[in-house]
C-alpha cells in the first residue's frame, strides 16, 4: 500500500542530492497528507509515515535520510491538530537520526524535531526523556551548525515544558542527575 501512496517521482525528489529538490518532495508529501487527513484516511497516513521511516530515514544513503526527515516534518505540519496519534511514529525515527554519523543528517534531525514539537506542543512531552538525552549528546557535537540547531530545539522544548502545569519536574531532575553522572554526553 505505501509504495502506491508515495509515487516514484516524489520518492526520487526526497532522495535527491539537492536540498531544494528534497524540499519539493517534502512539500508534495505535505499536500498529500493534508488531503488524506481531510478524507479521514488514517491508515494511509500511517502507511506513508511507515514508508518514510523504512525507505528513507533508515536508508544507508545520506540524501535519503535527509529527505525522509524533511518529509516527516512536512507530515507533522500537514496533520496539525491530528498529529497526536502519529507522534511515536514521527518522533522515534528522528531521535534515531540524532546519532547519525553524518552531521548534516543530525542537523536535519534537529530541524525536523523542532517542526514536530512546534506542531505537537504539549503532546511531545511523553517523549521528553528521549529528546532530552538526544539534546544532551547533540550539545557536545563537533559541528557548530548541529550545536546551534540543538540549542534552538532546546529552547522550544523548554518553552513547551514551562507552558504545561503537568510537567513532571521530579522526573526531569532524575534525567539531569543521570546526565551529570555520565562522563561523556
- pLDDT at 96 (0 to 100): 98
pLDDT band with cut points at 50, 70 and 90 for residue 184: low
- pLDDT at 3 (0 to 100): 45
- pLDDT at 1 (0 to 100): 40
Nearest Cα neighbor of 80 from 33, 114, 126 is 33
Please state which of the ranges 65-69, 126-130, 132-136, 161-165 shows the lowest mean pLDDT: 161-165
As a whole number, the mean pLDDT across the chain is 92
pLDDT tens-digit series, residues 37-55: 999 999 999 999 999 999 9
- pLDDT at 175 (0 to 100): 65
Average pLDDT of 1-21?
88
pTM of the prediction? 0.91
Please indicate whether residue 168 or residue 41 has the higher confidence score (pLDDT).
41
Average pLDDT of 151-160?
94
pLDDT tens-digit series, residues 71-112: 999 999 999 999 999 999 999 999 999 999 999 999 999 999
Residue carrying the nine cell digits 517521482: 9
Amino acid at each position: 500500500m505505501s509504495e502506491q501512496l508515495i509515487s516514484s517521482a516524489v520518492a526520487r525528489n526526497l532522495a535527491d542530492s539537492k536540498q531544494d529538490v528534497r524540499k519539493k518532495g517534502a512539500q508534495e508529501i505535505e499536500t498529500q497528507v493534508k488531503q488524506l487527513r481531510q478524507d479521514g484516511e488514517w491508515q494511509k497516513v500511517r502507511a506513508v509515515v511507515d514508508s518514510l521511516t523504512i525507505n528513507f530515514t533508515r536508508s544507508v544513503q545520506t540524501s535519503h535520510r535527509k529527505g525522509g526527515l524533511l518529509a516527516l516534518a512536512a507530515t507533522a505540519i500537514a496533520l496539525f491538530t491530528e498529529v497526536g496519534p502519529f507522534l511515536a511514529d514521527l518522533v522515534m525515527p528522528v531521535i534515531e537520526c540524532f546519532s547519525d554519523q553524518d552531521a548534516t543528517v543530525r542537523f536535519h534531525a534537529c530541524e525536523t524535531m523542532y517542526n514536530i514539537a512546534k506542531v505537537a506542543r504539549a503532546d511531545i512531552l511523553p517523549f521528553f526523556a528521549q529528546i532530552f538525552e538526544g539534546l544532551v549528546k547533540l550539545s557536545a557535537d563537533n559541528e557548530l551548525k548541529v550545536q546551534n540547531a540543538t540549542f534552538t530545539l532546546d529552547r522550544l522544548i523548554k518553552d513547551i515544558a514551562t507552558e504545561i502545569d503537568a510537567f513532571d519536574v521530579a522526573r526531569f531532575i532524575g534525567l539531569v542527575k543521570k546526565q551529570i553522572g555520565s562522563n561523556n554526553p
